[in-house]
Amino acid sequence: MLISVVVPCYNEEKVIAMTYDQLRAALEKITDDYEMIFVNDGSSDGTIGALKRFADSDKHVKYISFSRNFGKESAMLAGLRFASGDYTVIMDADLQHPPELIAEMLTYAQEGYDQVIGRRDRDGDDKRNAFFARTYYRLVDRLTDVKLADGVGDFRMLSRKALDALLTMNEYNRFSKGLFSWIGFKEKIIHYKNRQRAAGESKWNFGSLIKYGVDGVLSFNNKPLRFCFVLGAAAIGVSLVYLLSLFLSILFEGIDLPGYFTTIFTICLFGGVQLISIGIIGEYIGRIYYEVKRRPHFLIDETNFHTNLSKKEL
Ligand code: UDP
Ligand code: MG
């Protein structure tokens, strides 16, 4: 198999046929040796029906259907585990990732680049969102050890080597952007123009974006824990200075009782510092909790792959 294309789909009924047509057209121009792996992430609309229809008439179409919605990260992982291509592409089902780019990606991949990454500009994006995104990436860059670039997403072609490396990481809380960057290998970035989703609607809302943002920072290192430590040390430093000055003033000027404001102020300040620290520690413990359970990333309801499922599930 030369090329595998993994497409996670969640309620993409409105756009999936268009995506399938364009993807097939783009791949057919390159080779006949390809597979399209559509992962139905527990859609509640007609997505799975459409996928089965494509599969009936086209042997290049593979589908994997989950027992419920497990999230895009799990859907990508499932597709990647089943992909058998020398080169594997990950792309969204909404045509925001242009299939025509695959040919160019392949050229670079065959030159020896292990990750050929599509990078979009932010033209036509909501100004406010673009601003938040840019600020976020700058922040993540500071806070974590992995490098994330603005406009770089999951749209990319991976060599077999890079894909196998990616699959050795079996963590439950997956943050692919970070994992891609973590594995390294030779990278090539190609630029493309930002596009709006062809049909249907985005699955993101403000809450899920915040969660994603926090995941990005926490899943890659323990710098936030170190931040708690620094915060605590700074608080101790400040309070020592304050205690000393208080002590001296008592020594030289006698006890001066009114101190209601300072008392309340310190209680509030330190209460806040402690709660933040406990919260950060709690986030890590929560993650450990999910990791130690070692639950599967997804459960497959049906698929047209004829492989040993139980091996691939875990
Ligand atoms: N997706 C998925 N599971 C989910 C949410 C999204 O498989 O729980 C898929 C979705 O079908 C699409 C891709 O992830 O192919 C990106 O989703 P979307 O277009 O909603 O995100 P956006 O482009 O707005 O960031
Ligand atoms: Mg989209």
pLDDT per residue over 217-272, tens digit each?
A: 777 777 777 788 888 888 888 888 888 888 888 888 887 777 777 788 788 778 87
Are residues 38 and 163 located together in one domain of the fold? Answer: yes
Separation between Cα atoms, residue 190 and residue 109, nearest integer Å:
12
Q: Which residues line ligand 1 (CB under 6 A)?
A: 8-10, 12, 41, 69, 71-72, 75, 92-94, 96, 197, 202-204
Tell me how far the alpha carbon of residue 207 lies from the centroid of ligand 2, in angstroms. Answer: 17
Give Cα 181 to chain centroid, integer Å: 11
Tell me the Ramachandran region of residue 168: left when phi exceeds 0, alpha when psi lies from -120 to 50, beta otherwise: alpha
Kindly state whether residues 85 and 99 are assigned to the same domain: yes
pLDDT reading at 104 higher than 60: yes
Ligand 1 centroid, distance to 75 Cα (angstroms):
10
Domain count, the chain: 2
- Element (H or E) spanning 64, and its range? strand 61-66
Question: Ligand 1 atom 5: the closest Cα is on which residue?
Answer: 72
- Do 15 and 73 fall into the same domain? yes
51-60, 138-147, 177-186, 288-297: which has the minimum mean pLDDT? 138-147
Residue whose CB lies within 8 A of the most ligand 1 atoms, among 20, 22, 72, 76, for a mutation test: 72
Task: Pick the range with the lowest mean pLDDT from 161-165, 170-174, 300-304, 305-309.
Answer: 305-309
Is the domain of 216 the same as that of 229? Answer: no
Rg (CA), the chain: 25
Q: How far is the CA of 293 from the centre of ligand 2 (A)?
A: 31
233 and 176 both lie in a single domain: no
Q: How close is the Cα of 91 to the center of ligand 1, in Å?
A: 10
DSSP for residue 259? -
Q: Strands 34-40, 3-9: parallel, antiparallel or unpaired by DSSP? A: parallel
CATH number of the domain encompassing residue 181: 3.90.550.10
Would you say the pTM of this structure is higher than 0.85? no
HSE-CB of 150 using CA atoms within 13 angstroms: 15
Q: Which atom of ligand 1 is nearest to the CA of 8?
A: 7
Which residues, in sequence order, are bridge partners of residue 7?
38
Among 95, 106, 91, 89, smallest CA distance to 15 is for 95
Query: Are residues 236 and 141 part of one domain?
Result: no
Other beta carbons within 10 angstroms of residue 51's beta carbon come to 26
Cα–Cα dist 91/84, whole Å: 16
Instruction: Kindly report the protein residue whose alpha carbon is nearest to atom 24 of ligand 1.
Output: 202
- Check whether 314 has a pLDDT greater than 50: no
Distance, in Å, from the CA atom of 228 to the CA atom of 236, rounded to the nearest integer, reads 12
Claim to verify: residue 36 and residue 160 sit in the same structural domain: yes
Burial of 246 (0-12, 13-18, 19+ CB in 10 A): middle
DSSP 71-107: -HHHHHHHHHHH---SEEEE--TTSSS-TTHHHHHHH
Spatial contact of 124 and 96, defined as CB atoms under 8 Å apart = no
**What is the pLDDT, as a whole number, of residue 307?**
62
pLDDT band at 276 (very low <50, low <70, confident <90, very high): confident
Q: Residue 187 carries which DSSP code?
A: E
The mean per-residue pLDDT over the stretch 23-29 comes to 93
Do 108 and 129 lie in one domain? The reply is yes
Residue 265 CA to ligand 2 center (angstroms) comes to: 47
Helix runs in the chain, H state only? 16-30, 47-57, 72-82, 101-111, 127-143, 160-167, 176-183, 206-218, 223-253, 260-293, 309-313
Tell me the pLDDT tens digit for each residue of 130-164: 787 788 778 777 777 777 777 788 899 999 999 99
Domain range for 235: 223-293
Q: Is residue 21 very low, low, confident or very high in pLDDT (cuts 50, 70, 90)? A: very high
Ligand nearest to the backbone CA of 11: 1
Largest CA distance in the chain: 93
The ligand 1 atom nearest the CA atom of 153: 25
